[in-house]
């Protein structure tokens, strides 16, 4: 009995999970983590749709598995890395038009309409940022503002001073800023999406 | 310390596309196998964006940043955030400095006279005084009067500045109060979003640390056919698909059938009770054969309730356009013994 494309994809996905780890729970965890890492890697290498590239990498491995290919490796990430490099090479060899579509706005021809949109967009950004900053506790808000107002050409000195003031190690401060920034960025993105 | 700096420089050079092919290969092999390196890379990436926004990169780094790093749309969004945040922080810093530099109001302690030798001065004036000394005394008195006048004017000027500063301060306070009032309404809503973000983070942590057990039904597949898609413009009959998620499920795979359209890329928003976005994916591409979109979501994000799956077509430029929505009812099955 012939199976349709959707069923084939499901089979491939299950085969991939089995290959990642015989324990399904562990496999699912591995899949989520590796997909995230892979997408970030594709982004760093200039893939325009990193999530798609990561999907494609896993789809290919899944397809190879259901076709009967036996992939023996001590560390699946090495094999995934190899397949990912192939996917990347194919992305790069695609027509240039796709890249032009995703060029930064400032690199595209300018017109008055665009400038007006950019101005409105900037106002929306600031409005959402202000709203979101107000939701942060006073201390966190002050910490972020101090961090962003600092002279970043002397950041080592400035950050060690800030860390000293807070009574924490520089690494802890860096991690705290990272989490606060992420939280605030998420809030702004939600606000902008409304 | 030096090796830490080298490591940091390696990540920066990776992000700016300045590693050789051999270095790239070695870095990415380690990166895929090491979760901590992934986290570090994210931190360094954010810092790089902040540095660019505040003009702290070297000329070479700036060029690589603009030419290579900014090709990703997500990074451009992050840069927009960093730029807005830097502008806001600089404005805040200037505001802070103004309040610190407000002149002291108490000028009463300024002493203009020294009376300790008043008795001697009296004796001096009571004795016989030569004419030239009298003229010198008159000149000194005139000079003293001038000095007092200047000081009086200066004092008045300072008081005026204090009053102006107070007025400015009061006006700024009013503006801040008004702004706080305006944001109060959205504050509760945004707090809920933050809680949701924290919940997502804890769920991811839980996924990473949960012990193995003998659970089946780890992955739930559900297909939402085209007949379930309610269009944005022409409407359509609302059909609700029920998704029963086993208690032990870890992942839910949604297969969405969408009508053929000119869009090559799609954004998906999963909203609970029509309001909260519990999951989002952008840049999804429909498979050419079936016009289907696949979405994988950690099952723990799907609490029981009513959901809408919003499908937006993303044109190469401009805002995404709502194509339609699916209605989904999520139920959680009890764990079987």
Q: What is the pTM of this model?
A: 0.54
Residue closest to B267 by CA, chosen among B248, B284, B292: B284
For residue B81, pLDDT beyond 60? yes
CB B256 within 8 A of CB B268: yes
For residue A101, pLDDT beyond 60? no
What does the pLDDT read at residue B118? 38
Residue closest to A4 by CA, chosen among B289, B259, B243, B228: B289
**What's the rounded Cα separation, in Å, for the pair B262 and B314?**
10
Which residue is associated with the tokens 């504050």?
B187
DSSP per-residue codes, A30-98: HHHHHHHHHHHHHHHTT-SSHHHHHHHHHHHHHHHHHTT-----S-HHHHHHHHHHHHHHHHHTS-THH
What does the pLDDT read at residue A64? 93
Best to test chain A binding among B36, B47, B53, B250 (most A CBs inside 10 Å): B250
Q: How does residue B264 score in pLDDT terms, banded at 50, 70 and 90?
A: confident
| B285-306 tens-digit pLDDT | 777 655 788 888 888 878 888 9
Q: State the average pLDDT over residues B239-253.
A: 86
Q: How does residue A125 score in pLDDT terms, banded at 50, 70 and 90?
A: confident
CB A65 within 8 A of CB A12: yes
Q: What is the end-to-end Cα distance of chain B in Å, rounded?
A: 54
* Closest-CA residue of chain B to A181: B46
Domain ranges of chain A: 5-93, 116-193
* Closest-CA residue of chain A to B319: A193
Q: How does residue B270 score in pLDDT terms, banded at 50, 70 and 90?
A: confident
Instruction: Provide the pairing of β-strand B321-332 with B230-231.
Output: antiparallel
CB A14 within 8 A of CB A63: no
For residue B21, pLDDT beyond 50? yes
Best to test chain A binding among B13, B72, B79, B100 (most A CBs inside 10 Å): B72
Q: How does residue B105 score in pLDDT terms, banded at 50, 70 and 90?
A: very low
What does the pLDDT read at residue A116? 60
Which residue is associated with the tokens 């559900």?
B222
| A33-48 tens-digit pLDDT | 999 999 999 988 888 8
Name chain A contacts of B187, Cβ cutoff 8 Å: 134-135
CB contact under 8 A, B32 and A23: no
**What's the rounded Cα separation, in Å, for the pair B75 and A48?**
11
> In the predicted model, what is the mean pLDDT of chain B?
76
For residue B114, pLDDT beyond 80? no
For residue A161, pLDDT beyond 80? yes
Q: How does residue B195 score in pLDDT terms, banded at 50, 70 and 90?
A: low
What does the pLDDT read at residue B41? 92
Q: Answer whether CATH 3.90.25 is correct for domain A116-193.
A: no
CB contact under 8 A, A34 and B35: no
Q: How does residue B127 score in pLDDT terms, banded at 50, 70 and 90?
A: very low
* Closest-CA residue of chain A to B48: A152
Residue B304's CB: how many other CB atoms inside 10 A? 13
What count of residues does chain A have?
A: 194
More confident residue, A30 or B168: A30
**What's the rounded Cα separation, in Å, for the pair B334 and A123?**
48
CB contact under 8 A, A101 and B316: yes
What does the pLDDT read at residue A94? 66
Alpha helices in chain B (DSSP H): 2-15, 21-33, 35-53, 59-67, 73-100, 118-126, 131-209
> In the predicted model, what is the mean pLDDT of chain A?
83
What does the pLDDT read at residue B96? 63
Shortest CB distance from A28 goes to which of B41, B250, B290?
B250
Q: How does residue B154 score in pLDDT terms, banded at 50, 70 and 90?
A: confident
CB contact under 8 A, A152 and B54: yes
CB contact under 8 A, A33 and B35: yes
Percent of chain B with pLDDT over 90: 10
Q: How does residue B324 score in pLDDT terms, banded at 50, 70 and 90?
A: confident
CB contact under 8 A, A34 and B87: no
For residue B120, pLDDT beyond 70? no
More confident residue, B114 or B320: B320
CB contact under 8 A, B219 and A29: no
Percent of chain B with pLDDT over 70: 74
């Amino acid at each position: 009995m012939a199976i349709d494309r959707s069923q084939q994809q499901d089979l491939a996905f299950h085969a991939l999970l089995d290959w990642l780890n015989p324990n399904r729970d562990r496999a699912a965890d591995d899949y989520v983590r590796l997909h995230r890492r892979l997408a970030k890697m594709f982004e760093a290498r200039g893939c325009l749709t990193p999530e798609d590239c990561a999907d494609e990498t896993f789809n290919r491995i899944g397809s190879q598995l259901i076709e009967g290919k036996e992939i023996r490796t001590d560390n699946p990430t090495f094999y995934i890395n190899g397949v990912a490099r192939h996917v990347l090479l194919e992305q790069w060899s695609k027509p240039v038009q796709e890249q032009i579509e995703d060029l930064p706005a400032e690199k595209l021809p300018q017109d008055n309409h665009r400038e007006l949109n950019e101005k409105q967009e900037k106002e929306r950004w600031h409005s959402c940022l202000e709203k979101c900053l107000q939701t942060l506790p006073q201390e966190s808000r002050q910490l972020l503002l101090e961090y962003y107002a600092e002279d970043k050409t002397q950041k080592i000195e400035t950050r060690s001073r800030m860390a000293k003031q807070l009574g924490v190690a520089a690494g802890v401060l860096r991690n705290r800023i990272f989490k606060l920034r992420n939280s605030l960025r998420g809030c702004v993105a939600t606000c902008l999406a409304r | 310390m030096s090796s830490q700096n080298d490591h940091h420089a390696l990540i920066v050079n990776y992000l700016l596309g300045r590693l050789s092919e051999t270095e790239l290969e070695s870095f990415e092999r380690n990166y895929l196998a090491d979760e901590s390196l992934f986290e570090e890379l994210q931190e360094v990436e954010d810092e790089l964006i902040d540095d660019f926004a505040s003009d702290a990169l070297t000329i070479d780094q700036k060029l690589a940043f603009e030419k290579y790093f900014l090709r990703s749309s997500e990074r451009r969004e992050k840069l927009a955030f960093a730029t807005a945040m830097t502008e806001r922080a600089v404005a805040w810093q200037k505001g802070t400095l103004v309040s610190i530099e407000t002149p002291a109001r108490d000028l009463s302690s300024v002493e203009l006279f020294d009376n300790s030798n008043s008795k001697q001065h009296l004796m001096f004036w009571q004795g016989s005084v030569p004419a030239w000394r009298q003229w010198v005394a008159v000149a000194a008195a005139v000079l003293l009067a001038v000095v007092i006048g200047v000081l009086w004017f200066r004092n008045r000027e300072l008081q005026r500045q204090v009053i102006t500063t107070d007025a400015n301060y009061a006006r700024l306070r009013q503006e801040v109060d008004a702004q706080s009032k305006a944001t109060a309404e959205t504050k509760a809503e945004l707090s809920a979003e933050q809680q949701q973000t924290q919940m997502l983070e804890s769920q991811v942590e839980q996924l990473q640390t949960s012990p193995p057990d003998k659970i089946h039904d780890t992955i739930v597949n559900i297909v939402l056919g085209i007949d379930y898609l309610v269009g944005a413009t022409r409407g359509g009959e609302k059909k609700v698909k029920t998704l029963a998620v086993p208690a032990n499920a870890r992942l839910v795979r949604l297969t969405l059938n969408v009508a053929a359209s000119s869009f090559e890329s799609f954004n998906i928003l999963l909203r609970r009770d029509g309001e909260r976005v519990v999951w989002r994916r952008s840049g999804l591409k429909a498979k050419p054969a079936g016009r289907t979109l696949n979405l994988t979501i950690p099952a723990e994000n799907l609490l029981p309730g009513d959901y809408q799956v919003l499908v937006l077509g993303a044109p190469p430029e401009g805002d995404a356009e709502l194509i339609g929505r699916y209605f989904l009812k999520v139920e959680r099955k009890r764990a079987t013994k």
